[in-house]
Chains A and B, each alone.
Chain A
């Protein structure tokens, strides 16, 4: 089934120069396995195609059930020259949580809601 990430994960984002970076965290191990499979650099790049001009990098961290995602050239040159309201990229994580992925219906977080 199609599931938006906000139902099964949490996330925080920040900035460094012209990069927006996101930590995406599964609430549990079964969900982490799904995130690792479904949240690919290509899909993230497509989700941010209107604001990320560079490549997307991604590192899975099995030890903390997390994906580290880097959006390169995503802040109009950097927070101090960006014209955007969210010049610091703090809301980029919320944008990611709106992305939908294919996930099995029996994930723990999908049972509690």
Chain B
């Protein structure tokens, strides 16, 4: 019986590709599905593109391929990656340049057409209000500040690229899981209305798309995280899918991490809304009957994914400018570290008020006490801390104010409470972005999708 093995590539822009090496060398994978784009990544890429029109793609894509491609060729492995970001052509050129320099051969397909930013008016004229999916707010409230807007495309264009013989498929925004679903459809000949099989493929993609989180990384637990072996060499998850609609999850032999009932089910529910209707462009997944059978030895079998027909609309996620963040930080040692932080915070508030700065929100956190646990921090030892850092952040419409805010803090070193040991520079203004999720009729986007295949 035919089966396909897919290995996880990156889980975010900036992730490590070293574990991918083990999956190719010893994991018997045929495909690497590499996810470089989080909800926020396009905002970073947009800033790159503003500075340089040839940029705007995930810059870790080309060097990852430059390092892993000879190994991939040796083992017959294909790459599917969304490192094209906002500029798939730019990414392809960067990759092609390297391949030509090294004398490597490959067929590279580029999938583009996900960007809606330059088509907002056209889409509205076609009857799409593009209102905010959650709040119902009208697009006009943010239209002039929109920096990017991209539709999540499905697996179909990737499948078409594979049919045309691509060794590397480079996309812009596609649903993360489509990177894995596509090779399954392609290799196993699944039909586009075989909802349960597509649902299994979506589940596989979802479990692979966060790299190490599918194999024991970030295992959220009180103490059991310490039992995860060899974080330094944690292997990324690998899925083997057979025509019988089951998936076996594992990782390359000799790697760290753990693939088990517990590590997999944590990832199964990760960043999922209604688990009975997990929507993707190609199928809607119901997780309610999924069975996760831990066979031991980092082998876990998953069955029971149920699918419902795909939605009529695709999701677009846009990002718009939403002011500036100013940040100030200062750390105090015992004695009375927390009390001194509080005094510093109070002092800064007075300075800001006296300057009449237009500040919309102020956030005060005490690192070492409550900056991560918030109101659920335990106050028992608050007044006996060995050390405590004050972190204050503001939201303002004015970039100058955000820049000036951080510069208020160093002064406290000589003129504030005693035993400061943290003056390591000042943070400048950071641009804040609002996220604009909305829906669009799928044919309006899909009709503009282009697949370009180039032999190098």
Contact = CB atoms under 8 A, between A and B. Distances in A.
Given A16-B271, A23-B270, A68-B269, A81 B433 contact: yes
Interface in B248-295: 262, 265-276, 287-292
Contacts of B39: 15-17, 79
A15 B394 CA distance: 22
Given A59-B274, A77-B322, A17 B437 contact: yes
Contacts of B272: 21, 23, 68
A2 interface: no
Interface stretch (B60-68, B84-92, B220-228, B380-388): B220-228
A25 B262 contact: yes
A11 B434 contact: no
A49 B275 CA distance: 24
Contacts of A86: 371-372, 374
Contact of A85 (B219, B221, B365): B365
Interface string B331-370: 0000000000000000000000000000001110101000
Interface string A1-35: 00000110011111111110101010000000000
Q: Please classify the interface of chain B as helix (H, G, I), strand (E, B), loop, or mixed, using the class held by over half of its residues.
A: mixed
Interface in A54-87: 57, 59, 61, 63-66, 68, 70, 72, 76-81, 83-86
B319 interface: yes
Given A78-B435, A81-B433, A64 B395 contact: no
Interface residues of B, number: 57
Contacts of A10: 219-222, 224, 262, 266
Interface in B294-340: 304, 317, 319, 322-323, 325
B399 interface: no
Contacts of B363: 76, 83-84
A93 B292 CA distance: 22
A22 to B, nearest CB: 8
B150 to A, nearest CB: 14
B222 A12 contact: no
A25 B265 contact: yes
A6 B376 contact: no
Interface string B378-408: 1000000000000101110000000000000
A98 interface: yes
A72 B394 CA distance: 23
B265 A83 contact: no
A80 B437 CA distance: 13
Given A50-B375, A80-B319, A66 B435 contact: no
Contact of A61 (B43, B218, B275, B361): B275
B393 to A, nearest CB: 4
A68 B275 contact: yes
Interface string B33-48: 0000001100100000
Name, among A11, A85, A86, the residue most crowded by chain B CB atoms within 10 Å (CB to CB). A85
A64 B292 contact: yes
Contacts of B375: 49-51
B134 interface: yes
Q: Please classify the interface of chain A as helix (H, G, I), strand (E, B), loop, or mixed, using the class held by over half of its residues.
A: mixed
A54 to B, nearest CB: 9
Interface string A77-110: 1111101111000110111011000000000000
Given A16-B273, A50-B375, A98-B373, A81 B434 contact: yes
A50 B444 CA distance: 42
Contacts of B218: 12, 90
A32 B55 CA distance: 49
Contacts of A77: 322, 434-435
Nearest to A19: B273
A37 B286 CA distance: 23
Interface string A39-50: 000000001011
Contacts of A11: 220-221, 266
B432 interface: yes
Given A25-B265, A83-B325, A95 B271 contact: no
A18 B284 CA distance: 22
A84 B48 CA distance: 25
B307 to A, nearest CB: 16
B269 A66 contact: yes
A56 to B, nearest CB: 13
Contacts of A94: 220, 372-373
Contacts of A97: 220, 222
26 contacts: A14-B271, A15-B271, A16-B271, A17-B437, A19-B273, A23-B266, A23-B269, A57-B274, A61-B275, A61-B288, A63-B304, A64-B268, A64-B292, A68-B272, A77-B322, A80-B40, A80-B43, A81-B323, A81-B435, A83-B325, A83-B363, A83-B393, A83-B395, A84-B363, A85-B391, A91-B373
Q: Which 3 A-B pairs have the closest CB atoms?
A: A23-B269, A83-B363, A50-B375
